[in-house]
Homo-oligomer: A and B are copies of this chain.
Amino acid sequence: MKPILTELGRRMLFFDGAMGTLLQASGLKAGQLPELWNLERPELICDIHRQYLEVGCDILSANTFGANALKLSDTGHTVDEVVTAAVSLARQAIHTSGKDGYVALDIGPTGKLLAPLGDLHFEQAYDLFKEMMLPGARAGADLVLIETMGDTYEIKAAVLAAKENTDLPVFVTMIFDEKGHLLTGGDIASAVAMLEGLGVDAIGLNCGLGPVQMLPLFEQLHSLTSLPIIVNPNAGLPQVVDGKTTYDITPDEFARAVHAIAAKGAWLVGGCCGTTPGHLATVVAQCKDLAPLPIVPKGRTVISSYTHAVSFGADPILIGERINPTGKAKLKKALREGDMEYLLREGIAQQRSGAHVLDVNVGLPDIDEVALMPQAVRALQGVLDLPLQIDTTNLAAMESALRIYNGKALINSVNGKEESMHAIFPLVKKYGGCVIALTLDESGIPETAQGRVAIARKILTVARSYGIGKEDIIFDALALTISADQQAAQVTLQTLAAIRRELGAYTSLGVSNISFGLPQRENINAAFFTMALQSGLNAAIINPNNAAMMKAYDAYRALAGLDDQCMDYIAHYSAESPAPSTAPSVQALSL
């Protein structure tokens, strides 16, 4: 039988339906762990799997959903024992049925909230998942299905555990509310950004809603992701009739609704709570002759925090530059003392000023950056919901921060040197991220725009060899100081325009360097910022607390037709609201 990734998209693939629902029908009590029945009633489990195979399901979810060490802790059974049994039973069902089928190692949530919301640490969640992965793969699972997930951070731990400990394809389905939000507040766009960045193989929706409610969420997901989509709805919305829980739609209605979703582009469909072999029989019957719609690559350039995604495009992105100790004595002191509150104040002030992304640079000669960088990222992402730019020249610090970052980060930076590309691109590929690529290499910074564009082309080629596309590279056109070279600004602006025009790639710039050594630098910075925006700058690293810079930004948006009816501009400037003279207190915010 072909590997599932080979089969994907060649024909509709069908997940099975509920396991728990059928076990309850067979006498499983509330509070009993379904996964223990792998050991106690293996024939029943095997039979349920066989029933799903009989109606045409392709993928059996092994009965491992909650088989983690936390839930098994008081049962006298090990994770290894339970997972091995569960996967083996699914394999056995396929063997004895004579049908083709794939076994998914089914990974549900740990059952505990991760820090900072709960007290399970990211690394602990990772370990719980890792403990399931090893026996699951050994016992013969064909893929890992991470499902019913409501927290991107927990998903990230599970995906890393799957990828670092197995060679299996990784599918992820999440549980959203009807408005498209995860339990921890993330939206579909942020989940897509993170999961595409992590390189999962398929993505989707399961549980919580029926297929009717899932359709609009599917449509949103379909508009955003370039991955194969899975839709495993519940049997409908639950209703209590005569003291008994039923669902608001019939198996036929269920199948019709699932068909509608499949016809719009889902490649894998199945069922979740309440669905039975009967539901799946009608789904298979209705959908099996559909040809999966081709995937249209979205080519979006996007980073994310745990709550939302920030996408690159015509509307420029402001990256707050204030969390960087260069030339800031107070921040240096705070970093040396591990004073995260100071960092948070800087972050909050920049968010209030209008930053879309926060740069995080904690590099100081006498500091343990590998420890401090993830500490800073944890503190900032615990309080603020802006995506972060991980800004460091220390590779180990970069990896330690990317690993625990709850989203798809902006990474600063790679450059055209062989050493840099071969060190940074593997991290980008593994953890996901958009990476700022400086247009310089072993020969230094080219003096011409075309020289810089040539380096950008080289960077794109090497990135492609790592499986990283143009959409995840943001080219920094390099602003040098005009007081040293009067042509510096023009070369940078020409580089911006050429990268946009010739490569179709996005651009970034650290703006303030341009004015080094000149008086009243904000005059130069604001004018250069305006000129750079007009030349095609997509993301600017600036001080968002500087009024001149924000005036330039707000005016540019109004002038570029990006501010509908000039409403943002009018809102900001109608009443001159003085900036707060001191940064806001973060005492009230829990860290």
Contact = CB atoms under 8 A, between A and B. Distances in A.
Interface of A: 482-483, 486-487, 489-490, 493, 514, 518-520, 523-524, 526-528, 530-531, 534-535, 551-552, 554-556, 558-561, 563-566, 569-570, 573-574, 576
A564 B486 contact: yes
A540 to B, nearest CB: 14
The 5 closest A-B pairs by CB, nearest first: A527-B555, A489-B559, A520-B573, A486-B561, A523-B551
B487 A559 contact: no
Copies in the complex: 2
Given A518-B573, A527-B559, A528-B559, 20 more contacts: A482-B559, A486-B563, A486-B564, A490-B560, A490-B561, A493-B534, A518-B569, A519-B569, A519-B573, A523-B555, A524-B555, A524-B558, A526-B526, A526-B551, A526-B555, A527-B551, A528-B555, A531-B534, A531-B556, A534-B535
Contacts of A559: 482, 489-490, 514, 524, 527-528, 531
A566 B530 contact: no
Contacts of A573: 518-520, 523
Nearest to A574: B519
A530 B483 CA distance: 19
Contacts of A564: 486
Contacts of A551: 520, 523, 526-527
A576 B520 contact: yes
Contacts of A576: 520
Among A483, A559, A566: residue with most chain B CB under 10 A: A559
A534 B552 CA distance: 15
A494 to B, nearest CB: 11
Nearest to A530: B530
A70 B429 CA distance: 93
Contacts of A527: 530, 551-552, 555-556, 559
A160 to B, nearest CB: 45
Contact of A523 (B528, B535, B554): B554
Nearest to A550: B523
A560 B489 contact: yes
A343 B112 CA distance: 78
Binding site of A, secondary structure by majority: helix, strand, loop or mixed? Answer: helix
Contacts of A530: 527, 530-531
A182 to B, nearest CB: 35
Contact of A531 (B482, B519, B531, B570): B531
17 contacts: A486-B558, A486-B565, A489-B558, A490-B560, A518-B558, A518-B570, A518-B573, A519-B570, A519-B574, A523-B552, A523-B573, A524-B569, A526-B555, A527-B530, A527-B551, A531-B531, A534-B535
A586 to B, nearest CB: 31
A345 B208 CA distance: 76
Contacts of A518: 558, 566, 569-570, 573
A482 B524 CA distance: 25
Contacts of A524: 555, 558-559, 569
Among A519, A555, A576: residue with most chain B CB under 10 A: A555
A523 to B, nearest CB: 4
A560 B552 CA distance: 18
Contacts of A486: 558, 561, 563-566
A338 B493 CA distance: 50
A530 B554 CA distance: 14
A482 B535 contact: no
A519 B575 CA distance: 8
Nearest to A534: B531
Nearest to A555: B527
Contacts of A534: 493, 531, 534-535
Contacts of A569: 518-519, 523-524
Nearest to A565: B486
Contacts of A560: 489-490
A524 B570 CA distance: 11
A96 to B, nearest CB: 67
A590 to B, nearest CB: 38
A483 B523 CA distance: 25
Contacts of A493: 534
